[in-house]
Structure formats: C-alpha cells, structure tokens
Structure 1
Amino acid sequence: MAAAQLAVAGQAPGSLSDPDVPVSHHDRVYAAEQFSNTVSVIDPAENKLVGLIRLGDPSPGNFSPLYHGQVLVHGMGYSPDHRTIAVVSIGSNSVSFIDTQTNAVKHVTYVGRSPHEAFFTPDGKEVWVTVRGENYISVLDGTTFEEKTRITVPNGPGMQIFSPDGKYGYVCSSFNPETQVISVADHKIVGTVKQASPFCPDLAATPDGKQVWFTLKDVGKTQVFDARPPFALLKTIDTGPITNHVNIVHNANGMFAYVTVGGLNQVKVFRTDDFSQVATIPVGNLPHGIWPSGDGTRVYVGLENADAMAAIDTLTNKVIANVPIGQAPQAVTYVPNAVPEGDGTQNTVPLGMAGQTTHLSLVAAGTPKSADASGAPTSVSLFNQGLVQVLQAAVTGLQAKQPYVLGLSNNPDGSGDVDVLANFMTNPAGAAIVNTIGQIRQVVAAGDTKAQDKRRYLVIAPQVAGKTGAPVQVQAL
C-alpha cells in the first residue's frame, strides 16, 4: 500500500501537506477506559462499537498479588504506519502495544511509577513515555519496545507530542509550571515554556508546525506557544473548569483547536489564526479525550461520566452520533486505515458489564425538585464492578481551594448526619474529580416503603474545623 494512503490528512499529529484519508470501514477510533480496564474499538463509518479489548479485570479482582492484567488503562498513542497502538496503564506502570489489525497485545513494556501517555516519534524509531510519577521520559525502541534511554525532566511530566517534522518533542508537566522542548535527535532540552499552573494533562501541535496548544486542568485555561524557537507564549484562554484535552482539526473552514471542558460538559472551538472562539458544543458528561478523523470532517470525544463516544461533524460543529463504550474513557485516538483487511473483530469482547453504569446529578442545595437538572454543576457515575462500584464525581460550582466531603444523607435535602465517602480539596477553579470505591449503589424498588426508608442521598458539604457543615449540593431527584 502506498505510503500516502497511510498519512494523517493534515491532521495532528501529521503534517499539513499530508493528503486526506476519507472516513471508511478501515479506520478505527479507540478509547482507553480507566475503570473497566478496556480499550473500546469503534468503526467510524457506522459509528458502531466493534468490541472491547480487555487488558485487565475490574475491581476487586485486580487487587490480588497474583494478578497479571493491567490497571487504570488511561493513555494512548499510535505508530506512524498505523499498525500499532500504545496503551498506557497508570496503575500497573505499563505500555501495552496492540496490533490494530488483530487487536492482539504483541508486547507489554513496564516502565517507572505512574506513566501517563506514550507516543511514537514521527519516524517511528522511538516511543516516548511520560513517567508522571517520576522525573523522566522513558524512551523505548520503536521496534522492540524495550527501554533504550531516559530523558531527565522536571518532576511530573504529563504528556508529550512532536512537531510534525519530528525535530522537537514538547513535554508539558503535571507537577511543575513549565513545558520542556526537547531535541528529538539528541534528547537535549532546548527550550522552556512557562505554564500558568502546574497541572497540564494534554497538548497538541498544529499540522503547519507553527503552534502548540496545551490545557491546564486545575485552573481551567488553555495556552498556546510558538512551536519554533524561542518558543514564545502566544495566548492564554480561559476555557472553564476541568479543562481536559485539546486537539487540532484542519478542514475546509480552516484550522481549529477543539478543547474538552469537563466541568461544563462542552467542547469549545477556537481558530488558530486569531484565537477567537467560534463554537461551543454540548456533548454530555465530562468530555475527556479528543481526536480528529483522517480528513478533518469529524472529531471524536470520550465522555468520561457518560460511558460514550461522541462524534462531532466539524463543518457544522454538531454531535452526529453517540456510541456506548466502556467505563470512564480517558485518552482517545483515531487511526486511519488501522484495519486494511477483514472486519477487525478478532480478540474483542462485547461491552457486557463494562456498559453497566448509573448516572446521577448533584444540584445546589435548595433547588426545587421540579427544576431541570441537565445543567447541574456535578455529575456522578457509579461504575459497576460486580461486587463493588467505583463512584466518580465531576464536581464544579464550589469555592476554590477549600476542603469538602462527598457523603450520604438519610434525607433528600441533605439534612442530618452525613456518612463521608470521600474527602477532597477543590482546585483553583472550584472543581475536583472525586473517586471512591465500595458497595455504594442501593437498588430501591418503587413503592416499597421499607426500602424507601433505607434510601440514601449523595451530598457535598464543606469541612469546617474538622466537622461537616451544611450541604451545598444535593442529589437531584
């Protein structure tokens, strides 16, 4: 097959000169799913789930010291020939390399503490893995997938992406307020860009090689800097609480940055020439990863608290499909021509328990029961793990940098004693992602008085002098 047919159509992470690759049954969209420990595989031609690649078991099966699977499947990248995806699992410190044609795991490389993302250099010779729990990038051989060297950086590297020409690697930080620019040829740091906050989860380079966009989850901002020396900061944009990922789309209307804003359940769209915002797209609860199709006509968004993949038409900026997938999707990639032959269903399993999730909302205390909860500040998912459930709350609308509790009350208005499920501190945007695990869900049969008496209600309350204060958010009924 001609090399041009494998190119990424002027979309990130490819070059603007690459030809279009129209959406087809040979393409695949992948989502890394943190709580079901799976990778969902979608055929974008039909926006249909092909199946799940199971990399590990749900909790508590993965608690055993004899457990061999992966834990907290999270990050994702792919090779320039589109034949391999690299999937990072934070909890098991691993990168799983999966064949896109067969969906088979062909190698697993174990790296340092809490890796976050992995991506191939544009020439395919190396795979850079940001080891966020330490202070280095683990550089793997692009063929053997074994570690060949490490690049020391400030503590907490979050993600890396490369300039389309392969000259620079851009590495943002999750623990330090600076992004490093590294020469790919000799692994030397050649530039530093100041971040407005320490917590950057994601970045993307424009296909024309001119800009790098990165997100700041803790303060709800997106920043842009010149991709070329001296790597000057160009723009800071207030995007909103729990700003997650960013990616670049090039289509007939121009070049745009698409930013997922988890706390607003929106994707915001900005021009790359004048940084003006041109669209706001409602997509569903807690949008996270995002990636364009090979021709820029679509962009796909993983909805972390909706267990779905949203497909957006980039010419109209409207959601055209929602595909049910696994639990808590994180990183998303779109791989053109991932499956050259056949239906690509090998080594996949049905959605099954990974699709069993309960969705709730919390609203401001005192909100009338009849009020519409669609714009609720906090969304909650209860991910079924069999014996237990993982609870994840995407919390917004609180005071910044203050301690709160998420708990259960016997009363719908949150009054009375509160049994604490989790303690948390809000970020500078008054938001937080709160996780806890246990036998949380209670099934209440309608009309069963005894069951109704035992029902519990989620609440959020401030923590004042070590004690729980009056609830500020309560479960929507």
Structure 2
Amino acid sequence: MHRIKGLVTTLLAGLTLMAACAQPAPKRMLLALSKADHTLALVDPSTLKVIARLPVGTDPHEVIASSDGTRAYVSIYGGGSLHEINVLDLVAQKALPTIDTRPLYGPHGIDFVNGKVWFSAEGSKAVGRYDPASGRLDWAMGTGEDRTHMIFVSADGKKVYTTNVNSGTVSILTDTSLQPGPGAPPGATAREEWRQTIVPTARGSEGFDVSPDGAMLWTAASTDGTISIIDLGSKKLAAKLDANVKGANRLKFTPDGKRVFVASLSSGELTVIDAATHKEVRRLKIGRGAAGILMDPAANRAFVACSADNYIAIIDLAKLEVTGHLEVGGVPDGLAWAGK
C-alpha cells in the first residue's frame, strides 16, 4: 500500500512539474517550416523564442493557419508526386489525421479562406479545395498549365490566382455563381461556375502577391529576372519590369502596399522595389539563398527564410536593414501567422 501511494505521489509530482514547465501558446504565433528537419516551429513573435517543434511529412513546403488560429495546414509536395496535407492542432501541439488529396497530386501553395483549405496541385495541373467541416475535397479545377505552384484566394472565395511556373503564365479563376435557369427543379440554388483567364508572364514566374487594395498582381520570374504586373480589373498584363531579380523565389507587398520585396534563391539577395514608381529602392545581401517572405505589420518588420543559410533574416521595414536572425531548423522556407 505504501509503495502504491509512493508511486501515485511521484506521478502527481511529475505531472505538476510538466504543467509548470509547459509554455502557454501566445495569441499570435509565427509558423516556420524546416524542410531538412521535417518540423513546423511555433515561435512567439514578441520574444522570438521557439515554443515547440511539431513533426510534419517528408517534404514540407508551405503552411497556412485556420482563421481562428487553432489549426495549421502543411503541404507535402514531393516535386508534384505526393498527395498529403498535414494537419496540426496548435493548441494541443499535436498532429491530427492527415488529409489525402488524391486524386490531386503535388499540393504546394496553400491558403485558408471561408473556413476551407485551398491548394495548388502541381502534379495534376489543378487547384483544389478541402472542407474541414465535412472532411472531404469539395471542389477542384484544372488549369491545363505546367507547374501550377503558388496560390492566392480572394477574401470572398470568388477568385483564385495561381502561377504556372514552367508555362510562364498566371491563371485567374473566377466563380460566376450561375443561377438556376428556366425549368430548374424546385429548391434549386446557385452553383459554382468557374472560368479561367490565362495571362502570359515569363517562364519561371513563381512567387507572387496581390496588392493590399486587390487591384494588381505582381509576379517575379526566376529565369530572366523580370517582374510582370497584371491589372486584375482587366485581367491583362499592365507592365513588365526589367528588375534583374534572377533566381526570384518569392514576392510580397509591404502591409501599406508601397513597396515590394523579392527574394532570390540563387543569389541570396532581397530586392526592394517602389510599387508606384517601379524603381529599385534597395538590394540587401541577406544570405546565400532567400525564399519565403512574411510581413509583420504589428512590429513593422519582415521575416525572410534564408534556406541555404539555415536561418530566417529579420528585416526592419523602415530602415530596410537586417536586424537579426532566427533559427527554426535546417532549410527554412514556408512561413505563416496563426492568430491575431
């Protein structure tokens, strides 16, 4: 009896110690993928300390969080051959059942809009949508273009933008919400009627972003270093800049929409361009290879994953200078915010 009491006392003491040592998750977290370590790091943005590292699949590329900040979704890419999206509980800090995206292969770009997970499926030349509420894929559309890679979904879920890297194009998918016609059965409702507009850009167009006002889409080409600017109202190419951003991997607007950051995976440079004048503002050498970019409007800074250097560079948006580095694991890339 005394031995049993002693074991119970020891167990309770251990549980108390674990509870005391556990770090409560902040309301807002930086999510950072490590391709080499196959982990997702949860980072407190106020202290820049890693709270936890959660295991993910063999080839993680991009990450997004649910609107309420409780779930993370990680695309497992495999060069277009794999078919998984990992789901992580950010509150309990544990893995949940994986989403099988088949028959869509090669999930890469990923977004979360209107309670659903939207993703590109490079291996299937398509984009798809997963509904966590029903636990099933509820929509997909082919692009017919090569290497459908990154994705951006409008806030209302009515427009999807994606870059097709090898085709050198951008697909603009628009839901026209077709209304029931004459002779429709009673109770018939509007259905999704998606239409595609293909805008030629340049081969190697991969990283892109939509301006904060939703008017323009900028995409950078890794091959010739040009930046294509698309007017989203007319769905036509408005300008092409000879920006010399060869090796361009990712592109992001600053929160105020006044500047555009372009990261080069081959040179390790971060090029800053004035969005109004289209002129280069500054070019920073931040490492040997720069990839994922994440803006932090709350602290007026940006995080840039330097995959070849195994760190994330922290950029002051006002001074346009590197102010520090953050280590989250080997070959960091995909970045996202969870919570507000």
The one-letter amino acid paired with 2:258 is: T
The letter of the residue matching 1:159 is G
Correspondence for 1:161: 111
Q: CA deviation at 1:295?
A: 1.9
Q: Secondary structure at the match of 2:148?
A: coil
Partners of 1:245 and 1:138 lie apart in 2 by 22
- Aligned ranges 1:115-130 → 2 under 5 Å: 115-130=60-75
Match of 2:147 in 1: 199
Correspondence for 2:288 among 327, 335, 358: 327
Partner of 2:267: 306
3-state secondary structure, aligned to 2:173: strand
Asked whether the equivalents of residues 266 and 287 of structure 1 are also in contact (C-alpha less than 8 Å), the reply is no
Please name the residue that 2:137 is paired with.
189
Change in 2 beyond 3 A, CA 1:298/1:114: same
Q: CA deviation at 1:198?
A: 5.0
CA offset at residue 298 of structure 1?
1.9
**Matched residue SS, 2:163:** strand
* SS, match of residue 315 in structure 1: coil
| Distance apart, 1:207 and its partner CA | 4.2
Match of 2:4 in 1: none
Q: Counterparts of 1:145 and 1:328 in 2: how far apart (Å)?
A: 30
**Aligned positions, number:** 263
- 1:51-90 CA deviation, whole Å, 9 max, x = no partner? xxxxxxxxxxxxxxxxxxxxxxxxxxxx996x42222222
Q: Deviations over 1:313-334 (max 9, x none)?
A: 2222222121221221122111
Report the residue type matching 1:99 in the other structure: D
Identify which of 97, 102, 120 aligns with 2:47: 102
Q: Is the 8 A contact 1:279 1:317 kept in 2?
A: no
The correspondence of residues 140-179 of structure 1 with structure 2, limited to 5 A, is 140-153=88-101, 154-163=104-113, 166-179=114-127
> Is the CA contact 1:158–1:171 (under 8 Å) kept in the aligned structure 2?
yes
Is the Cα contact below 8 Å between 1:289 and 1:332 reproduced in 2?
A: yes
Deviations for 1:223-272, whole angstroms, at most 9, x for unmatched residues? Answer: 11126762613211221111111211034xx6111111111202211111
> Can you give the 5+ residue segments of structure 1 that lack an aligned partner in the other structure?
1-78, 345-350, 356-477
Q: 2:230 matched to which residue of 1?
A: 270
Identity %: 18
CA pair 208-191 structure 1, distance change in 2 beyond 3 A: closer
1:192-214 per-position Cα deviation (integer Å, ceiling 9, x unaligned): 11022352221112345431111
4+ runs deviating over 6 angstroms? none
Which whole-Å CA distance do the structure 2 matches of 1:354 and 1:88 have between them?
A: 14
Which of the residues 182, 196, 217 maps onto 1:257? Answer: 217
Task: After TM superposition, give the deviation of residue 129 of structure 1 in Å.
Answer: 0.4
Structure with greater helix percent: 2
The two structures have a TM-score, normalised by structure 2, of 0.70
Contact 1:290 / 1:333 at 8 angstroms: preserved in 2? no
Task: State whether structure 2 residue 42 is matched by structure 1 residue 92.
Answer: no
SS of equivalent residue, structure 1 residue 295: coil
SS at match of 1:91: coil
- Within a 5 Å distance, the mapping from 1:17-416 to structure 2 comes to 83-133=28-78, 134-153=82-101, 154-163=104-113, 166-197=114-145, 199-207=147-155, 209-226=157-174, 230=192, 232-251=194-213, 255-281=215-241, 282-338=243-299
Going from structure 1 to structure 2, the CA distance change for 1:354 and 1:194 (only over 3 Å counts) comes to closer
CA-atom RMSD in angstroms: 2.9
User: In structure 2, how many angstroms separate the alpha carbons of the residues matched to 1:106 and 1:167?
Assistant: 26
TM-score by length of 1: 0.51
Q: Which amino acid aligns with 1:274?
A: S
Corresponding letter in the other structure for 2:55: Y
Instruction: Give the secondary structure class of the aligned counterpart of 2:37.
Output: coil
3-state SS of 1:175 partner: helix
Query: Runs of 5+ in structure 2 lacking a partner?
Result: 1-24, 178-190, 311-340
